[in-house]
Amino acid sequence: MKNKIFGIGRKGSDTTISIYWFAILAIVSGAVIYMVGIVYGQPYDVRDAEAEIMASNIADCMLQNLYVRQEVLSNNFQEKFLHECRLDFSTEEILEWPGGQLYAEVNIYDFETSAKISGFSGGNQNLKQDCALKGEKLSACATKNVYGIDELQKRYKIEITSIVRKTEKNAQ
Amino acid sequence: MMDKRVMSKKGNLLTGEVIFLVLNIVFISILIIFVLSRTNSSAFLEEQYAKEIALMIDSSKPGMILHLNMEDAISKAESNSIAAADIVKITGNVVTIKLKEKGQYSYSFFNNVSAEKSNYLDTSNNKEWVFAITEKNEK
């Protein structure tokens, strides 16, 4: 008995069309399954957006109508930093997360002389080393520079660095 | 004798073409079902909404009221026998989305605001979730 479906025993163009048609179908489906698997198999990586939002929130906290907040320039702002800037660095507990997953650092410089006036930070500072390296499984870093003046029209440069790790939930 | 041979030839040709067509349809249907099941799965929607809500809350300020269209998540939860009102849960600074019986997805936000008791399903249209962002009451 000749198999006409797969073209076995057929002659000429009919045979070629059947076999090639199934081969093309198999290749196309394989490619679609592979691509869907790649796109939807990976977690949704939101760390860059998170780090950017954190840096923007801190910038809003440092300035008030382009004026640098007076307490930010004082030495004891370190203790109040997270609370004043409305930051909560606690995260959901998962087994692979022994340390903190977030870090934020602010350095304030004199705009004219570039001398450091004040600096404060919060969170897990071990994450800072990830910013010098590149890789999907490392923390996401965002740096933002903002400029402001005080009541005496003195100009300041405020350098904000925010880091988000949360690797296990955003990269595989 | 001659008629019988022609009939048999025609019959075989039709059966072959029909099976070929059916196989193609089955093949393509399986592919479409696979893609749809991956793109519309409960686990994927849970992760997507938990992270989306966390980012929304991160960028919000106290006093804001946020509306999020969650139509697809709500219909998915209802098909999995989960009440629409139980889909979103905010505990402290962790958003948890539950769309299926077994399992859920949690993601934390860093903005120290409260949305714990002020998030609810908009019952007027049953497809939007409302988040009223308030100042956190420190103890």
In this structure, are A30 and A73 located in the same domain? no
Neighbouring C-beta atoms of residue B31, cutoff 10 Å: 17
Distance of CA A6 to the CA centre of its chain: 51
Q: What span, in angstroms and rounded, lies between the C-alpha atoms of A128 and A149? A: 28
Q: Is A169 on the interface with B (CB under 8 A)?
A: yes
**Record: contact A4-B13, CB cut-off 8 A:** yes
In this structure, are A60 and A87 located in the same domain? yes
Chain B residue closest to A22 (CA)? B24
In this structure, are B53 and B100 located in the same domain? yes
Q: What is the pLDDT of residue A16?
A: 56
Distance from CA of A44 to the nearest CA of B (A): 7
Task: Give chain A's end-to-end CA distance (angstroms, integer).
Answer: 52
In this structure, are B65 and B105 located in the same domain? yes
- Its domain, for residue A70, covers 47-170
In this structure, are B33 and B48 located in the same domain? no
In this structure, are B76 and B10 located in the same domain? no
In this structure, are B26 and B53 located in the same domain? no
Q: What is the pLDDT of residue A52?
A: 97
Q: Is the pLDDT of residue A13 over 60?
A: no
Q: Is the pLDDT of residue B16 over 90?
A: no
In this structure, are A54 and A37 located in the same domain? no
In this structure, are B83 and B97 located in the same domain? yes
Lowest model confidence (mean pLDDT) among A15-24, B5-14, B22-31, B52-61: B5-14
Distance from CA of B28 to the nearest CA of A (A): 8
Q: What span, in angstroms and rounded, lies between the C-alpha atoms of B104 and B42? A: 9
**Record: contact B92-A25, CB cut-off 8 A:** no
**Record: contact A88-B111, CB cut-off 8 A:** yes
Q: Is the pLDDT of residue B14 over 70?
A: yes
Among chain B, residues having any CB pair with chain A shorter than 8 Å are: 12-13, 16, 19-20, 23-24, 27-28, 30-31, 34-35, 38-39, 41, 44, 47-48, 51, 54-55, 58-59, 92-94, 106-108, 110-113
In this structure, are A12 and A71 located in the same domain? no
A2 class by beta-carbon count within 10 Å (0-12 exposed, 13-18 middle, 19+ buried): exposed
Convert the pLDDT of each residue in B74-100 to its tens digit: 999 999 999 998 999 999 999 999 999
In this structure, are A32 and A75 located in the same domain? no
Q: Is the pLDDT of residue A110 over 70?
A: yes
Q: What is the pLDDT of residue A79?
A: 87
Mean pLDDT of A113-133: 92
Mean pLDDT of B109-138: 88
- Its domain, for residue B94, covers 42-135
In this structure, are A33 and A77 located in the same domain? no
Angle formed at CA A143 by CA A137 and CA A144, multiple of 5 degrees: 155
Q: Is A47 on the interface with B (CB under 8 A)?
A: no
Give the number of domains in chain A.
2
In this structure, are B75 and B104 located in the same domain? yes
In this structure, are B85 and B109 located in the same domain? yes
Give the residue among B110, B74, B80 at the shortest CA–CA distance from B95: B110
Q: What pLDDT band is residue A1 in, cutting at 50, 70 and 90?
A: very low
| pTM listed for this prediction | 0.80
Average pLDDT, chain B: 86
| Region class of A159: left (phi > 0), else alpha (psi between -120 and 50), else beta | beta
Mean pLDDT of A33-51: 88
In this structure, are A29 and A96 located in the same domain? no
In this structure, are A145 and A120 located in the same domain? yes
Give the number of domains in chain B.
2
Q: Is the pLDDT of residue A54 over 80?
A: yes
How many CB contacts within 8 angstroms connect chain A with chain B? 74
In this structure, are B57 and B121 located in the same domain? yes
In this structure, are B93 and B112 located in the same domain? yes
3-class DSSP string for A4-64: CCCCCCCCCHHHHHHHHHHHHHHHHHHHHHHHHHHHHHCCCCCHHHHHHHHHHHHHHHHEE
Average pLDDT, chain A: 85
Q: What is the pLDDT of residue B107?
A: 94
In this structure, are B21 and B84 located in the same domain? no
In this structure, are B2 and B58 located in the same domain? no
Mean pLDDT of A3-16: 52
Q: Is A50 on the interface with B (CB under 8 A)?
A: yes
